Structure 1
């Protein structure tokens, strides 16, 4: 007989259902669930866009939970998924879904809404910032999940039993976590914070525009003068557009190191550029004409290019004051470091004199009273007021 001090083991979870027929997917969810748990498996090693290989959907019916493993390689499956993802009467419970949303937009033509992001919810509830799914599951439910299939080939068929079980586990605990986190956020009065953050994440996935200032994310760009930064900007904008159109990774089109080298010491003519490409082992030699054109064509907004070297000129003492103010406000609210505002957001605020989109809404309402005095000290220009 089992000791009363040891609870009986939990019954095994029901086996997931493999769905390779679009009509079956529609039939399983025809009753109109009020919420579904979603995760995806995708591959992005050789492409610009994530290749959606599998969609896991948890739903509740007749007092139980069922997990559907949806084969997105099956003909017509993307079209069958689209109306489910677009249905705003169904809450989509997901964990850190930003890349999943991009995969859905590219494959199904729709970004799921409304969202409940369990990672964001955990941060706003004060549990921890940026927590992984497995860690959060264990903290909230006590269940320790296996980690064995994180780097699987999800495009192969058939998938192994271990892959199927791993994939199902990624959605099995979303509802339980949703219920706990929703309750915590309700008690704290932060449900609207999560809704706003989740909408912003979905908006970012919906936005198909390329990054406006891609050079800012490259540390080496900060060591270039402004003219060289403008040349680098032209190359990176061309590269990103070409990578997207050809569905290839950015660095396959033009390596970062080579782009910086060309921008730093621009070739005198087309032949000199080709010689530079021929001398570089990762150079796209066949794209010489396109690279030369990109290098010569100035953009209309180049006069507004932000200086990637601003970090060297930044008032570091002022930045520390801003960080301290944010840390103090975060502690008062019981929020993990980085949730209210990251260093990068504060640098944006200092360098450009404007509030970044990531600090809009409830974050700005909380931070502006404590940051505005620091930003206006010693003659620093105040950030402009929206509207």
Structure 2
């Protein structure tokens, strides 16, 4: 396996010239996500079947011409389980390469089970054991070791021949457009941002709170994300999720009272105590008529179990007719997403929220006739 580490502009320019016009590129990224909200990209691996390069984004490089190659709709970009890679491109490059072929999803729709790991795929398809010992390494350190570079290069080197095997089976099954569409859905969902005023609904155990508590939690959740984005801090490094629920329940009026809330850490108070108290005051000032309604879990709806069972039966039938694994057509989470969309959101909230996957992807053509009553 031969590869090139690209650290200068001339090296990158030469590589871009070599891969321009190639119909398929295998791509991977290495990144770190320690305490940050956004992934810190550390390496971009690209292989066209002939030229394999590891591009160092920490070097002083203009990637403009390289981005143009990835933007080319005539070039198929191949990745394995690209959800986080998609986020890397969204944040670092400002776009998602398309069309994108996810080998993990392709294997899933072919009936190989959920979430097959890269090493497992390489073993199953190529009968090659690969070393994954560097998967948790520090990719931001410089210089990178030879072992790190070999590991990174192997990801795309083996990805391309796996893709060629999978692509043949996907074409025979007639699922190519579905694989491409699924990656577009993943990118769309990664790019979607829940409106700040609705973030509190996604907080675990928020259903336990009363309306005046939820008014505080709504303020806390919106503030936490704003600070996380501004400081590039992981959300739980601003304030832990379960602590926000306790704070909303107890509504401490001073820093000392905040410190006494079970679970709240001294660091959270030192860094954000004053801001937290301001959120509490704003939440307490919300008139009763404007406080959020108490949240209901799906299991709190008497008709939930029957509705979920009915949808699942219809999904199973549709999946069998189309020769698709039923958990690919609709997972339990996606069924619950559809029910929540109909039962928990009013018309205005539906406009602000993203549509359920079943009505917002290739799946719609497969289920629109059997799920007519759920389309509002």
Q: What TM-score, normalized to structure 1?
A: 0.82
Superposed CA deviations along residues 103-146 of structure 1, whole A, max 9, x for unmatched, are 12222223222211111211222222221111122222222211
Distance in structure 1 (CA, Å) of the matches to 2:147 and 2:131: 10
Residue 39 (structure 2) aligns with: 50
Distance in structure 2 (CA, Å) of the matches to 1:36 and 1:106: 21
Residue 167 (structure 2) aligns with: 182
- Residue 366 (structure 2) pairs with residue 366 (structure 1): yes
Distance in structure 2 (CA, Å) of the matches to 1:242 and 1:80: 34
Q: Alpha-carbon deviation of 1:43? A: 0.5
Q: Alpha-carbon deviation of 1:326? A: 2.5
Q: Is the 8 A contact 1:221 1:308 kept in 2?
A: no
Q: Is the 8 A contact 2:196 2:221 kept in 1?
A: no
Residue 383 (structure 1) aligns with: 374
Aligned mate of 2:58, from 73, 88, 107? 73
Residue 240 (structure 1) aligns with: 225
Q: Is the 8 A contact 2:247 2:258 kept in 1?
A: no
Superposed CA deviations along residues 286-323 of structure 1, whole A, max 9, x for unmatched, are 42343234341669xx7787835343335223323323
Residue 130 (structure 1) aligns with: 115
Aligned mate of 1:22, from 5, 9, 13? 9
- Residue 297 (structure 2) pairs with residue 309 (structure 1): yes
Q: Is the 8 A contact 1:16 1:68 kept in 2?
A: yes
Q: Alpha-carbon deviation of 1:337? A: 5.0
Distance 1:208 1:356, change over 3 A: closer
Distance 1:342 1:276, change over 3 A: farther
Distance 1:109 1:350, change over 3 A: closer
Distance in structure 2 (CA, Å) of the matches to 1:229 and 1:157: 46
Distance 1:316 1:139, change over 3 A: same
Q: Is the 8 A contact 1:18 1:68 kept in 2?
A: yes
Distance 1:262 1:335, change over 3 A: same
* 1:49 match: secondary structure: coil
Distance in structure 2 (CA, Å) of the matches to 1:225 and 1:304: 9
Distance 1:216 1:332, change over 3 A: farther
Q: Is the 8 A contact 1:92 1:115 kept in 2?
A: yes
Structure 2 gap ranges (5+): 343-349
- Residue 64 (structure 2) pairs with residue 93 (structure 1): no
Q: Is the 8 A contact 1:210 1:240 kept in 2?
A: no
Residue 276 (structure 1) aligns with: 257
Matched positions, count: 353
Residue 201 (structure 1) aligns with: 186
* 1:262 match: secondary structure: helix
Q: CA RMSD in A?
A: 2.7
* 1:252 match: secondary structure: helix
Aligned mate of 2:250, from 265, 270, 274? 265
Q: Is the 8 A contact 2:220 2:244 kept in 1?
A: yes
Distance 1:86 1:230, change over 3 A: farther
Distance in structure 2 (CA, Å) of the matches to 1:323 and 1:276: 48
* 1:140 match: secondary structure: helix
Q: Which moved more, 1:189-198 or 1:285-294?
A: 285-294
Q: Is the 8 A contact 1:81 1:108 kept in 2?
A: no
Q: Alpha-carbon deviation of 1:206? A: 4.1
* 1:370 match: secondary structure: coil
Q: What TM-score, normalized to structure 2?
A: 0.84
